[in-house]
Amino acid sequence: MYKQYFFTTLAIALVTLLPLSTVNSESLDSQGQPTADKPATQSPAAEEKRLPLRELRLFTQVFEQIRRGYVDDVADTELLENAIAGLLLELDPHSVYLDETDYEELQENATGEYGGLGLEVGSERGMIKVIAPIDDSPAAKAGIEAGDLIVEVDGTPVRGMAVQKAIDKLRGEKGTSIDLTVLREGEEGPLDITVIRDTIQLSSVRSRIIEPGYGYVRVSQFQVSSGEDFKDALLSLREQEPALKGVIIDLRNNPGGLVPASVEIADAVLDSGTVVYTEGRLPSANTSFEANSGDLLQGTPIVVLINGGSASASEIVAGALQDHRRAAIIGTQSFGKGSVQTVIPLGDGRAVKLTTARYFTPNGRSIQAEGIVPDIIVEPAEIRRYEKRKQIREADLEGHLEQADSKKQKAKESEEDVTDDNQLYEALNVLKGFQLLGKRVLSEPETQN
């Protein structure tokens, strides 16, 4: 009798969580049953709003069967939490319930910040190998070097430990200390190093000059600081190469991230116009994002690299620059995630990530399940090197004259070999084609009328 009362009460409690407008569509008696005086017939609209009382009763019955008969004892709170997760499970692949751990990880990925040592690590011979310490990180300041093998963490051997588990051990709150025992080549014995954890900021943007006059910017995901980092990267490239001829923006395998960051990145190289707009059921989900005046590259040609791993915010950037004819898109068709998720905190360390809108490129294209089709399709190739038959050239002759222009020779020596990445190689060739075409157009004599 108690259990029956408990589950009837649970059904009523679930009803009270629904909007009042739907509760008022059907009256309930003290037992949670529909009253007999409801209208015999209802309009289709009223019928749609009616509470699904039969399904609510079915839910309480299933809940009771699991609670009473499942092979292992399961706490009521766990069952209800599973039920909440199930509400979102069948909506779409991106709407999910986030428990405390999932929500914390989502925030960490969005900000790029975590408490730790500032190490990039891998596994070698069952030990944790330091690939590189981040510049100015606690690990670098404590003397950890690339190539060190971490054999103990706080006195616990790490041999055979999975890399992710080791990373979890190395992370911790800012200000806490950790004792590492490392093996270093050239040292007679293990070294004991104490490191004080600090807040580590991981940048998702990297840049470099890959050839004189041509810059490269890699964006691995869209975090809170990615927009500012991207702008800094462009300014840095212009400082290194005042006569910048072209820039490659690499968005391959970028799964997306924060929409504002993607808008800021596209805005950095656009002078005006719509970047992206969203449409949803809620008024707040209907938004248009516009570019501000000012192109940081001042019209310098751009190539954007994408592939099947470029999704969401990556597709916002690629779609905006493609529609505005600001960049040539090269690579393979993108993933096709054209929906926007809103993270709704629940106030107790948990949250719901809910799909609330679809986004559209400036020309009104929805890329949901379609993706961005490149202007030039370049499939990734497996590069196999083979030995060519050596031919005798002037440089091989004894006593040959040296090249007169040493600057050209130095520039050639500073060029990066990008032939191992055929998509990047083709992107660079396209930029050179833009440069060559531009020169030819400028050199054409004006026609006389």
Q: Tell me which residues are annotated as active site.
A: 312, 323, 337
- What region, left, alpha or beta, does residue 175 occupy, with left being phi > 0 and alpha being psi -120 to 50 degrees? left
| Assigned token pair, 199 | 């807040």
| Assigned token pair, 370 | 């379609």
DSSP state of 425: H
| Strand locations in 111-176 (E) | 113-116, 119-124, 127-133, 149-153, 156-157
Residue with tokens 């590069």: 383
| Assigned token pair, 257 | 């991230």
Q: What order do you get walking across the sheet with 205-211 strand by strand?
A: 205-211, 214-219, 246-250, 302-306, 328-331, 376-377
DSSP state of 173: -
R_g (Cα) of the chain, nearest Å = 30
Alpha helices in 181-287 (DSSP H): 226-240, 259-268
* Among 186, 104, 206, 110, CA closest to 145: 186
308 vs 252: CA distance, rounded Å: 8
Q: What is the DSSP string of 330-372?
A: EES------EEEEEEE-SSS-EEEEEEEEEE-TT--B-TTT-P
- Looking only at the bridges linking them, the beta strands covering 274-280 and 351-360 are antiparallel
109 vs 107: CA distance, rounded Å: 5
Query: 113: buried, middle or exposed (CB in 10 Å: 19+, 13-18, 0-12)?
Result: middle
Q: Which amino acid is at 269?
A: V
